[in-house]
Structure 1
Amino acid sequence: MRLSEIGDKEIVDLRNGSRHGQLWDAEMLFEKESGRIKSILVPNFQSKISFLSTHDYMQLPWNSIVKIGDDIIIFESQ
């Protein structure tokens, strides 16, 4: 699967139903040796954000993704 195929999908937490934007809004962290995706940083819209900071991010391990569907990416938070 290519990034261009999943970039528009909405990221949703299975535990509480919170939405974290689209994959385009996230940052990806890669393993240096293998080049595999280690985790993604998704916007955490549920946290309190001060007026000085523009974003608060939540690190989402790649293995916490439960399903990549037609319209959404479902993950289970810890």
Structure 2
Amino acid sequence: MLLSEIGDKEVIDLTKGSRHGSFWDAEMLFNESDGKIKALLVPNLQGKSRFSSAHDTMQLPWESIVKIGEDIIIFRS
């Protein structure tokens, strides 16, 4: 799967049922020694209004991703 194919997928927390934006809103953290993806930094949209300028992020370990589906990426917090 290409990065361009997953960019528009929504990132959803299975445990809380919360939405964390699209994959394009996330940043990736890499392991410097082997180049593997270590974690994603996703926006924490809970409790924020859409007019809020402060963007909190949460670190999502790559291992917590449960499924990359057709329209969404599901992770377990």
- TM-score if structure 2 supplies the norm length? 0.90
What's the Cα RMSD here?
Answer: 1.8
2:57 alignment partner in structure 1: 57
What pairs with 1:1-78 in structure 2 (closer than 5 Å)? Answer: 1-47=1-47, 54-77=54-77
How far does residue 33 in structure 1 lie from its aligned partner after superposition? Answer: 1.1
Query: Contact 1:47/1:56 (CA < 8 Å) preserved in 2?
Result: no
SS in 2 for 1:4: helix
Q: Distance in 1 between matches of 2:75 and 2:34?
A: 23
Count of residues in Structure 1 that have an aligned counterpart in Structure 2: 76
SS in 2 for 1:67: strand
How far does residue 66 in structure 1 lie from its aligned partner after superposition? Answer: 0.2
Structure 2: which 5+ runs fail to align? none
Q: Distance in 2 between matches of 1:47 and 1:55?
A: 11
Q: Distance in 2 between matches of 1:31 and 1:10?
A: 24
Q: Which structure 1 residue ranges, 4+ long, deviate > 2 Å from structure 2?
A: none
Structure 1: which 5+ runs fail to align? none
Q: Distance in 2 between matches of 1:47 and 1:37?
A: 28
